[in-house]
Chains A and B, each alone.
Chain A
Amino acid sequence: GEDVEQSLFLSVREGDSSVINCTYTDSSSTYLYWYKQEPGAGLQLLTYIFSNMDMKQDQRLTVLLNKKDKHLSLRIADTQTGDSAIYFCAERVGGRRALTFGSGTRLQVQP
């Protein structure tokens, strides 16, 4: 079955690195995604990784995928107050069109 889990809350200081973690259960996941949601807004795609990759870097964002442990993480370097938001992990399983989402991790960045 499909299940995506995330911790609910993370607090960091401005300038530090943030690491948001996600676990998933379906080994047939083909793509894994990170979305960001700011207050009153929809979900904004940040980055995604194909399941045969271990790592993807995009400016301040680094995605690590451990397929054996079904663990995905998002590292934000030099976290800024503008990074405060809810971050959602999502997976696409096999040929399905829709994504399965976790409950989201609220990132709070303190000045």
Chain B
Amino acid sequence: ETGVTQTPRHLVMGMTNKKSLKCEQHLGHNAMYWYKQSAKKPLELMFVYSLEERVENNSVPSRFSPECPNSSHLFLHLHTLQPEDSALYLCASSQDPPGQGDQKLFFGSGTQLSVL
């Protein structure tokens, strides 16, 4: 248990559906991240939030919409996705700015998303 919890673990959705992924961290961190993991590709950074403000947005299509209501919770709202969006979506958290010896990202178990 890493202290970062993602729900649901698995999600199947049609291209016209709207769904949301949820992430919660119990580590007292103030930065949260969404990464996308596709088969045989490097992890792709999608969004970074620090102190509930979006500080990075890596050219992600607008059909993905993040929300960070507080430093413990992060959501990814999904709308009219494409089959190529099927992947494992990983949430992570860290302390920002990182202190000495505190340079670590902690990951959740991910949500396996299938878009039909």
CB pair A92–B90 under 8 Å, yes or no, is no
Cβ of B104 within 8 Å of any chain A Cβ, yes or no, is yes
| A98-B56 in contact (CB<8A) | yes
Bound state CA distance, A104 and B50, in angstroms? 27
Q: Are B55 and A43 neighbours in the complex by a CB distance under 8 Å?
A: no
Known A-B contacts A97-B31, A103-B40; the reply to A44 vs B56 at CB < 8 A is no
Q: Which residues of A contact B33 (CB under 8 A)?
A: 97-98
Out of B2, B4, B40, B48, name the residue touching A97 (CB < 8 Å): B48
Contact status B106-A45, CB under 8 Å? yes
**Using a CB–CB distance below 8 Å, which chain B residues touch chain A?**
2, 4, 6, 31, 33, 35, 40-43, 45, 48, 50, 55-56, 90, 92, 94, 96-98, 103-110
Interchain nearest-CB distance for A38 vs B (Å):
10
Closest 9 CB pairs of A and B: A42-B107, A101-B43, A43-B107, A42-B109, A31-B103, A103-B42, A98-B45, A101-B42, A42-B110
Q: A97-B31, A97-B96, A98-B33 are in contact. Are A45 and B43 (CB under 8 A)?
A: no
Q: Which residues 11-59 of A have a CB within 8 angstroms of B?
A: 30-31, 33, 35, 40-45, 48
Question: Residues of A within 8 Å of B, CB-based: how many?
Answer: 24
Residues 80 to 103 of chain A near chain B (Cβ within 8 Å): 88, 92, 95, 97-103
**What is the interface of chain A, defined by CB distance below 8 A to chain B?**
4, 8, 30-31, 33, 35, 40-45, 48, 88, 92, 95, 97-104
Complex partner residue of B43 from A8, A30, A88, A97, CB under 8 angstroms: A88
Cβ contacts under 8 Å, A102 to chain B: 42
21 A-B interface contacts by CB (under 8 A): A4-B42, A30-B103, A35-B107, A40-B109, A41-B109, A42-B107, A42-B108, A43-B90, A45-B106, A48-B104, A97-B31, A97-B50, A97-B55, A97-B94, A97-B96, A98-B33, A98-B45, A99-B105, A101-B35, A102-B42, A103-B41
Contacts of A4 in B (CB 8 A): 42
